[in-house]
Chain A
Amino acid sequence: MTDAPLRGAAGDTSAAPTRRQAYEARLKRRSNMIAAGSTIAVVLAVVVLVPLAPGWEAVQRSFFNGEVFAATFPGLLNAFMLDVAIFLWCAPAIAILGLLIALCRDVRAPALFPLRMFGALYTDIFRGLPVILVIYLVGFGVPGLGLPRPWNSPYIWGSLALILVYAAYVAEVIRSGIDSIHQSQRSAAASLGLSEADTMRFVVLPQAIRNVAPANMNLFIALQKDVALLSFIGPVEIFRQAGVYKSLMANFTPYVGAALIFLAITIPATRYADYLLHKQRRRQR
């Protein structure tokens, strides 16, 4: 009630803008114009200059071939469903395993020291190995021990390789989240008589996980891309499907199609992660 007249004076822009608002509006218009101008200049340069390059026609025929694109895109989209499926069953497993490993690394009881050591060793090893190497070793190696079908499926062991590697990264991220929770929160919980486990579960973890949500989100975007590595041990997902088309038609356009499909998923996801991060920064101020 009392601040109504105030709001009318300062907040209502439809009335005469304040000097400051007018200044800021001018400034904004100017920077928008500069941004638009330079964008147009760059786009023009690319559109006009690149086709002038002597090899452009050949590049266009072999990378941006409309016919090949139209012929292969539906098949690529179909193959991408396998990527999505692999992602969908790996992601929850990664979240759970990553959390468990992070918790292993945080145990304080001396009796549980081996667990702590296991956690450290685990993250060191799996963060230190290229994903593709783990996929080969686990995906071909374990079934090579003579497991019967269907237990030797590359889907199982390839997914496990992804889960093992990504859980190590997620564990590190969660651990950094746990470390970021101030000791005073644990003190406050302990002073109320909460057990270590309850303190972790109700006080530390919820905050830690929320703090690292953007970082984890980025990991899961990376996972969506790395799913394609499973193709090396057999599954015909989008990357492999594109490779087959490429080989049949001696044309790289299918790879461009696959790239577009990946971007259609990863760009919005990346934007969303950035938005989360931004929101979180603002909250913490």
Chain B
Amino acid sequence: MRLLATTAAALCLTATGALAHGDDECAVGKTLEDGVLTIATGNPAFYPWVLNDAPESGEGFEAAVAYAIAAEMGFDADAVTWVRTSFDEAIQPGPKNFDFNIQQYSITPEREQMVDFSLPYYTSAMAVLTTEAVVEAGAEPTLESLRGLLWGADANTTAVPMLTEIVGPERDAMLYGDNVDVTAAMQAGQIDAALFDLPTALYLAAVVVEGGTILGQFPADRSDNPDQFGLLMEEGNPLKECVDHAIEHLTESGRLAEIEAEWLQAATGVPVIQ
């Protein structure tokens, strides 16, 4: 939120002339293949980050951000190729098959020791996905009520440490390999609630989980540990400088906020958990 506010302020201050392309020359000779920007995303890539699992279309928040960054760096849409990686492939040592990887990677200091992250392109609120039945049974958006629930989360996300640090559930949380398994467990009644970034949670509640609903969200700008998404790159990748530059431009110009407004549902009406 704070980031958006600063972006808005920056937009007011700077003239529209500053919106022009960034430093076209920066990326020359630094990509895997000359003149081509290779971008990785998840397999599959999920709504609303990428629509229809087709990032080439530029539809969906991350797909749009990726093309915007590419454009800032001087790559036309035709000069962008997509590859797919799992989380593990992205962090394994050795040469990478992508220039950068965009799939809701949260920036953490621990991860930063092993790989490089760009500046954040999105700051996510974490939200509690649950079902109507659980709400009817008395679950409320208060920490005390949340502690008593049976929790689940995607084991590969920063939702896991958040869960233990902020909620501190009474019973051990169940962890799963991906969103699909988390929702399967919720549907089987094996967990009451799961922690996701807000856009994912909204999507799962609306489309995937029968009777799904959002119980509440944790404010995005939690002072201690905000959940910010960055592009993941091989450690020491010289491209980082150019990517950061591009993101900086997009943020300052307000373009990033536009993309966010276009592809991510407004999270209004979701109560904030105190």
Q: Show the binding face of A for B, using Cβ within 8 Å.
A: 55, 58-59, 61-63, 140-141, 143-144, 146-149, 152-154, 231-236, 240, 243-244, 246-252
Contacts and interface: CB of A to CB of B under 8 A. Distances in A.
B93 interface: yes
B176 interface: yes
A251 B156 contact: no
A55 B174 CA distance: 36
Contacts, number: 100
Given A61-B93, A152-B188, A240-B155, A248 B111 contact: yes
Contacts of A140: 181, 184-185, 188, 190
Nearest to B189: A152
A272 B62 CA distance: 54
19 contacts: A55-B94, A59-B94, A62-B91, A140-B185, A140-B190, A149-B189, A152-B190, A153-B190, A232-B176, A233-B181, A234-B152, A234-B190, A236-B155, A240-B175, A243-B175, A249-B113, A250-B91, A250-B110, A251-B113
Given A59-B93, A234-B176, A249-B113, A244 B185 contact: no
Contacts of B161: 248
Contacts of A252: 88, 91-92
The B interface is mostly helix, strand or loop, or mixed, namely loop
Contacts of A148: 189
A61 B114 contact: yes
Given A147-B189, A233-B176, 5 more contacts: A144-B188, A152-B188, A240-B155, A247-B87, A248-B158
Interface of B: 87-88, 91-94, 108, 110-111, 113-115, 152, 155-158, 160-161, 172-177, 181, 184-185, 187-191
Contact of B190 (A143, A246, A247, A251): A143
Best-surrounded residue of A147, A246, A247, A248 (most CB of chain B within 10 A): A247
B175 A231 contact: yes
A62 B115 CA distance: 10
B231 to A, nearest CB: 14
Contacts of B191: 234
B260 to A, nearest CB: 25
Contacts of B185: 140, 154, 233-234
Contact of A58 (B94, B155, B174): B94
Contacts of A248: 108, 110-111, 158, 160-161
In the complex, which of the residues B157, B187, B188 has the most CB atoms of chain A within 10 Å of its own CB atom? B188
- The 3 A-B residue pairs whose C-beta atoms are closest, nearest first, are A234-B174, A58-B93, A143-B188
A243 B108 CA distance: 16
B175 A250 contact: no
A156 B114 CA distance: 38
A254 to B, nearest CB: 12
B188 to A, nearest CB: 4
B272 to A, nearest CB: 26
A38 B189 CA distance: 58
Contacts of A143: 188-190
B94 A236 contact: no
A147 B91 CA distance: 40
A260 B208 CA distance: 39
Given A149-B189, A250-B91, A236 B175 contact: yes
Nearest to A144: B188
Contacts of A244: 155-156, 160, 175
A140 B187 CA distance: 9
Nearest to A255: B88
A154 B190 contact: yes
B108 to A, nearest CB: 7
A154 B174 contact: yes
Nearest to B191: A234
Contacts of B157: 247
B114 A62 contact: yes
Nearest to A149: B189
Contacts of B174: 154, 233-236
Contacts of B88: 246, 252
A236 B91 contact: no
A251 B172 CA distance: 24
Contacts of A247: 87, 155-157, 160
Contact of A243 (B94, B155, B173): B155
Contacts of B189: 143-144, 146-149, 152
Contacts of A154: 174, 185, 190
Nearest to A147: B189
A121 B152 CA distance: 36
Contacts of B156: 243-244, 247
